[in-house]
């Protein structure tokens, strides 16, 4: 009997791009892809932290380079993807939060979150897919969305709006790019201990809310996301597109 074989998670010989790779979840994604053998082009706005991250990856024997990028600048995204692409894997972990009640949210904060979390994600996806389709690459685009793309949360109407927008955008793009074998999906974490989540997790009242909602009884760590990005980037997920992988410890289960 010929047994079926689990498709490989290896990314050997592949080129990957990670936006938001200088810290937090994005750095975890960059390391996860490099561990599977990809060369990883790492991007963020601040070059000091990004350079430090890439140097630490080199010490571990990973193949990585640093490039400066603000995903809120559409022209810069287009130039970078044209100059450094095409990529087999593109991960977008560049995102911000400006938490406040809906009644206290300023228009400036609304715009800043939407410019990065939605417009940035849109332009990056389109330019990444353009390069993949032109080169005939069966690529994988992965956005770090959030459980807040599936439910609401307190003091985060704009953040939730940005992540729900991302979820819809990914489904529509999956329909357009499926025939080209370009896949696009989201990863939706619960609260993960990173600098971005500190404003919530450092506050005892907000932390109690978080812990009461996560059925597995703890806040997430960066490592909790790394297996998911390796899976969605690899041939192990070739039939997966237009969907989201919730890493929420059961938050959205009820
Ligand atoms: N941590 C959580 O609890 C959590 C949960 C669910 C979803 N998420 C999502 O996961 C993503 C990453 O969050 P995180 O917690 O890892 O945040 P983080 O620790 O603040 O890291 C954000 C990364 O994105 C980069 N970045 C921010 N704005 C950028 C821009 N305009 N252009 C390019 N790079 C930019 C940052 O570097 P520079 O500032 O130097 O550019 C940094 O490398 C976000 O989309 C967030 O919404 C986080």
Q: Residue 56: what pLDDT?
A: 98
Which atom belonging to ligand 1 lies closest to the Cα atom of 69?
33
Alpha-carbon radius of gyration of the chain: 18
> Which residues belong to the active site?
159
Among protein residues, the one with the nearest Cα to ligand 1's atom 12 is 93
Task: Report how far ligand 1's centroid is from the alpha carbon of 5 (Å).
Answer: 36
Q: Is 19 touching ligand 1 by the criterion CB < 6 Å? A: yes
Q: How far apart are CA 158 and CA 107, in angstroms?
A: 10
| Residue 160: predicted pLDDT | 98
Q: Is the CB of residue 40 less than 8 Å from the CB of residue 63?
A: yes
**Residue 209: predicted pLDDT:** 93
Q: Which of 30, 31, 42, 44 to mutate to test the pocket of ligand 1 (most atoms within 8 A of CB)?
A: 44
Domain ranges in the chain are 15-243
The pLDDT score that the predictor gives to residue 62 is 98
How does pLDDT run along the chain (254 residues), one tens digit per residue? 999 999 999 999 999 999 999 999 999 999 999 999 999 999 999 999 999 999 999 999 999 999 999 999 999 999 999 999 999 999 999 999 999 999 999 999 999 999 999 999 999 999 999 999 999 999 999 999 999 999 999 999 999 999 999 999 999 999 999 999 999 999 999 999 999 999 999 999 999 999 999 999 999 999 999 999 999 999 999 999 999 999 999 999 99
> For 15-243, CATH number?
3.40.50.720
pLDDT of residue 157: 98
């Amino acid at each position: 009997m010929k047994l079926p074989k689990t498709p490989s998670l290896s990314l050997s010989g592949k080129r990957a791009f990670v936006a938001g790779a200088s810290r937090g979840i994005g750095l975890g994604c960059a390391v996860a892809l490099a561990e599977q053998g990809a060369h990883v082009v790492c991007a963020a706005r601040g070059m000091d932290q990004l350079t430090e991250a890439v140097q630490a990856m080199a010490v571990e024997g990973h193949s990585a380079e640093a490039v400066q990028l603000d995903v809120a600048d559409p022209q810069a995204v287009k130039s970078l993807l044209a100059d450094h692409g095409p990529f087999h894997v593109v991960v977008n972990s560049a995102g911000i939060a400006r938490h406040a009640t809906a009644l206290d949210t300023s228009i400036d904060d609304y715009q800043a979150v939407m410019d990065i979390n939605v417009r940035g994600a849109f332009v990056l996806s389109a330019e990444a897919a353009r390069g993949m389709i032109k080169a005939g690459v069966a690529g994988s685009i992965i956005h770090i969305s959030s459980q807040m793309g599936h439910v609401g949360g307190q003091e985060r109407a704009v953040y939730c709006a940005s992540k729900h927008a991302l979820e819809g955008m990914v489904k529509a793009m999956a329909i357009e790019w499926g025939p080209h074998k370009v896949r696009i999906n989201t990863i939706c974490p619960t609260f993960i201990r990173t600098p971005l989540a500190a404003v919530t997790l450092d506050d005892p009242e907000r932390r109690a809310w978080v812990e009461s909602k996560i059925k597995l009884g703890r806040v997430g760590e960066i490592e909790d996301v790394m297996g998911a990005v390796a899976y969605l980037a690899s041939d192990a997920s070739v039939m997966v597109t237009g969907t989201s992988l919730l890493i929420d410890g059961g938050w959205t289960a009820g």
